[in-house]
Amino acid sequence: MTNVTIPIDYNFLLDSSLALYKPKGRPHVTLTFAQSLDGKIAGKQGKQLTLSGSDSMKATHILRARHDTILVGIGTVLNDDPRLTVRLTLEDLPSGCRSVEHPQPVILDSTLRFPSNAKLLLPSSPKKPWIFTVSGHDHQKRAELEALGAKIFVLDADAQGRPSITHLLSVLHQQSAGSLMVEGGAGIISTFLKSGLVDSFLVTIAPVYVGDIGVSAMQDTESALKLDDISYHSLGRDVMIVAKPRRE
């Protein structure tokens, strides 16, 4: 008997992740990350793990191509040194996509810990990062990052003294960003879920156990997450759950 591979239809990403619903005065916020069966997004002491298989990783890159901006916290920059680019060709994208454009990287970083030698600041990086901080940051470090191409935005501080999410979204709106893809890490996922400002939620679940030594996707166990409009998509060995957080 010959094995027949059924190609994966990625069109669900166009329907659900960026639905026509465009909130007033802020970008559409998509929260997406990959976790193990036991809810871990990284290994011991934050060790970066490749949890997504090639098919679900492709979904992540399609999502990147569909968003104007992509956000990670400074913890992820320091730990993973990500590129946050789209590594697909036009032929890889679902038919609704007309070009391969990299999203604008956005980083939340209260004290400008952003490393000057990060991949996002290399001359080969297609879009230099927008770094969102609060007042009181180191002005010399700011000048150093700006000289390397970063753009620094100063936001109002939240109750913890970190950049305010509502202010961030309003500045992104002023910068004409219609959509924001939030990739993580753990601190950022928790902040966005608590903010009630997530419009679409897509989680890749990989069939592996990491164990208690790993980093949990959701750090604040007191805030339960309830989802509506749920769909499940088989992406090779992984499952992607697509849903909308319930607004109570």
What is the 3-state secondary structure of 66-94?
A: HCCEEEEEHHHHHHHCCCCCCCCCHHHCC
Nearer to ligand LIKH6CAM, 52 or 191 (CB): 52
Q: How far apart are CA 202 and CA 192, in angstroms?
A: 13
The DSSP H or E segment spanning 54 is helix 54-66
- Quote the least distance from Cβ 2 to ligand LIKH6CAM, whole Å: 31
Structure token digits, residue 128: 């230099």
Q: Using alpha carbons only, what angle is made at residue 138 by residues 126 and 83, rounded to the nearest 5 degrees?
A: 20
With binding defined as CB under 6 A, does residue 166 bind ligand NDP? Answer: no
16 binds, among ligand LIKH6CAM, ligand NDP, none (CB under 5 to 8 A by kind): none
Q: Which residue among 184, 188, 217, 233 contacts ligand LIKH6CAM (CB under 6 A)?
A: 184
For residues 97 and 65, is the Cβ–Cβ distance under 8 A?
Answer: yes
| Residue 59 engages ligand NDP in binding (rule: CB under 6 A) | no
- We find the least distance from the C-beta atom of residue 60 to ligand LIKH6CAM, in angstroms, to be 4
Under rule CB under 6 A, residue 71 binds ligand LIKH6CAM: no
| Cis upstream peptide for 185 (omega within 30°) | yes
Surface-to-core class of residue 45, CB atoms within 10 Å of its CB (0-12 exposed, 13-18 middle, 19+ buried): exposed
Beta-bridge partners for 206? 36
**For ligand LIKH6CAM, which stretch binds (CB under 6 A), given 79-87, 98-106, 187-195, 214-222?**
79-87
Phi, psi of 34 (to 5 degrees): -115, 135
Q: Is 84 in the site for ligand LIKH6CAM (CB under 6 A)?
A: yes
Is 60 an interacting residue with respect to ligand LIKH6CAM (CB under 6 A)?
yes
Q: Would you call 217 helix, strand, or coil by DSSP?
A: coil
> Which listed option, ligand NDP, ligand LIKH6CAM, none, makes contact with residue 50 (CB within 5 to 8 Å by class)?
ligand LIKH6CAM
Cβ at position 247, least distance to ligand LIKH6CAM in Å: 26
Burial class (CB in 10 A: 0-12, 13-18, 19+), 181: buried
Q: Are 201 and 208 in contact (CB under 8 A)?
A: no
Number of residues that bind ligand LIKH6CAM (CB under 6 A): 18
Least Å distance between CB 248 and ligand LIKH6CAM?
A: 28
**50 touches ligand LIKH6CAM (CB under 6 A):** yes
Chain residues that interact with ligand NDP, rule: CB under 6 A: 33-34, 41-42, 46, 48, 51, 72-76, 79-80, 108-111, 113, 158, 162-163, 165, 183-188, 191, 215
Q: Which residues bind ligand LIKH6CAM (CB under 6 A)?
A: 34, 48-52, 57, 60, 72, 76, 80, 82-85, 183-184, 204
